Structure 1
């Protein structure tokens, strides 16, 4: 597994909220759903996204935006249009005065808006629980990234647009996987751009020495690695690897390995019913006690408390405002 694959291994939509919106100007949506991550793709027309920093960003046909929560943002026909609709946690839709709108703007299967003949069509896919997204992935992303249509050549947006309105057996699973693939494709393209400001540990993957060491760690995190073993695998001295790794990644090899193991452990605790002992074995700790000690030292909580806390956090994220 390379660094990119391990970074993107987190997205796992489960019953994701997916919607096609068809709108006629003037329109403006204030999004306050606190979702950890949302993908917005414009099929026809244009939209303006204004995030917490207040800088409007235009989306044209074929452009895709990825918005990192939980801060609110607006999507509108014009950044000067005042919000008319508010989207609350749980995708509860209301006017700014609080009047429910769920039925009033229903246009059919996963379709919502002001009328089917509206000039603007966009697709929205929302990861509703933080547990569906790798924490390391969220840490990489800016609050708002936009991939213009001219920067990539992909059939995924038209495919999602065709599938989102179907009402067939197993359709939710199809849409979940399409959303995952779209997100991964967008992020892969975005990270390859020089202006993406990818994290140091991601850029270091291209180094012939440090990249090899990173691949060893990612391919087999449970192995009892030492700096000497990594250096031998990379074909350099122990001192040379330690110095180069720290310069490029920003932390020593063993510190990076610890953080990576704990990230994997957190994902396993969050996404499975495996015991703490079983998780410890998978990520390279000799016992549940050893994993618990590292977990408390770095994250400040025990594995058991982390698992319980994530469940509560996800339940609260979906609770009505």
Structure 2
């Protein structure tokens, strides 16, 4: 199982916002869209990323910047160029005084700016949501991650730039998948660096014992895992396995199992119309009441309240009186 392909299912792009921006200096864009994750790469010219919580960082052709939201940041031709444009939630674009620019600077299919052959050309992808599992991974990132063009082979950047110009059936799905590939490539390279603060379960993947146990749980969260079952599956004693798992992952095995199941449940409640009963079954709880009790204990709200807050419609669920999800 590929770790990032599996873990980032909660981060996958679904109708993500993708745009080519072409601008002549001086230019400066203030991004206040509160997106959980944004990706910017320079195709031509150069740019500076100026996060609110850190110093300015230059970007050259082929460099990729991953910004973890929801904090605002600025992208400009130079660190001291005053913002001229503000990007609001839902990618609404205005001047500083509120004048709408969404159509004024439109230059055709997925392109926005001053002129098509402007000095600077950037590709930007924005994720609308991260999912509970993806959010756990993103929490381990600094606010800004920059991968230089010579840090790794990223052919997907050229593919993404080329696909932005096309308008064919299924194009949005193609662009979403390419954006996912770019993010996976950047995160994989970043977490492989010495000193990167990857999650404990991620760091444990190479371990022949703990890594196997983590993959077993992630691959089949509905199985009734116990510490003894995981120890037997990895060929170790129960006590030795528990000590080794806790030391590498940073939490006991069953705490990890519970956290993983509830993160998956949160994603299913957010992204699907499955009943609470069906969600409970998929993540290893014997009843919707058992899932509700664990979900509320760990996350502070019931599954239904979580779903309502996410605005996800639920399938009709019929349960016997007194049984099922409770607030």
Q: Which residue of 1 aligns with 2:294?
A: 294
Task: Give every structure 1 segment of 4 or more consecutive aligned residues whose post-TM-superposition deviation is greater than 4 Å.
Answer: 130-133
Question: How many angstroms does 1:8 deviate by?
Answer: 1.8
Q: Which residue of 2 aligns with 1:11?
A: 11
Range 125-134 or range 268-277, more displaced: 125-134
CA distance in 2, matches of 1:117, 1:222: 53
TM-score by length of 2: 0.91
Deviations 1:16-63 (A, max 9, x none): 211101111111000011111111011111111111213111111001
Given that residues 48 and 75 in structure 1 are in contact (C-alpha distance below 8 angstroms), is that contact kept between their aligned partners in structure 2?
yes
Question: 1:100-179 alignment to 2 at 5 Å?
Answer: 100-131=100-131, 134-179=134-179
Deviations 1:179-204 (A, max 9, x none): 12221222222222224221222101
Given that residues 14 and 132 in structure 1 are in contact (C-alpha distance below 8 angstroms), is that contact kept between their aligned partners in structure 2?
no
Q: Which residue of 1 aligns with 2:208?
A: 208
Q: Which residue of 1 aligns with 2:189?
A: 189
Question: How many angstroms does 1:153 deviate by?
Answer: 0.9
TM-score by length of 1: 0.93
Given that residues 132 and 266 in structure 2 are in contact (C-alpha distance below 8 angstroms), is that contact kept between their aligned partners in structure 1?
no
Given that residues 12 and 133 in structure 1 are in contact (C-alpha distance below 8 angstroms), is that contact kept between their aligned partners in structure 2?
no
Deviations 1:114-158 (A, max 9, x none): 222211110011112345973223323221111111111121111
Cα distance, 1:132–1:43 mapped onto 2, change above 3 Å: farther
CA distance in 2, matches of 1:132, 1:243: 27
Q: Which residue of 1 aligns with 2:320?
A: none
Query: What SS does the corresponding residue of 2:58 show, helix, strand or coil?
Result: strand
| Superposed CA RMSD | 1.6
CA distance in 1, matches of 2:268, 2:117: 46
Cα distance, 1:296–1:128 mapped onto 2, change above 3 Å: same
Q: Which residue of 1 aligns with 2:20?
A: 20
CA distance in 2, matches of 1:151, 1:132: 29
Q: Say how many residue pairs are matched.
A: 312
Given that residues 222 and 284 in structure 2 are in contact (C-alpha distance below 8 angstroms), is that contact kept between their aligned partners in structure 1?
yes
Structure 1, unaligned runs of 5 or more = 313-321
CA distance in 2, matches of 1:195, 1:141: 12
CA distance in 1, matches of 2:265, 2:249: 21
Given that residues 7 and 136 in structure 1 are in contact (C-alpha distance below 8 angstroms), is that contact kept between their aligned partners in structure 2?
no
Structure 2, unaligned runs of 5 or more = 313-327
Cα distance, 1:4–1:18 mapped onto 2, change above 3 Å: closer
CA distance in 2, matches of 1:210, 1:4: 17
CA distance in 1, matches of 2:184, 2:168: 25
CA distance in 2, matches of 1:91, 1:122: 16
Query: What SS does the corresponding residue of 1:135 show, helix, strand or coil?
Result: helix
Q: Which residue of 1 aligns with 2:236?
A: 236
Range 204-213 or range 134-143, more displaced: 134-143
Kindly indicate which of the two structures has a greater share of residues assigned to helix: 1
CA distance in 2, matches of 1:142, 1:135: 13
Q: Which residue of 2 aligns with 1:96?
A: 96
Query: What SS does the corresponding residue of 1:107 show, helix, strand or coil?
Result: coil
Q: Which residue of 2 aligns with 1:68?
A: 68
- Which structure's relative contact order is higher, taking Cα pairs within 8 Å and 6+ residues apart? 1
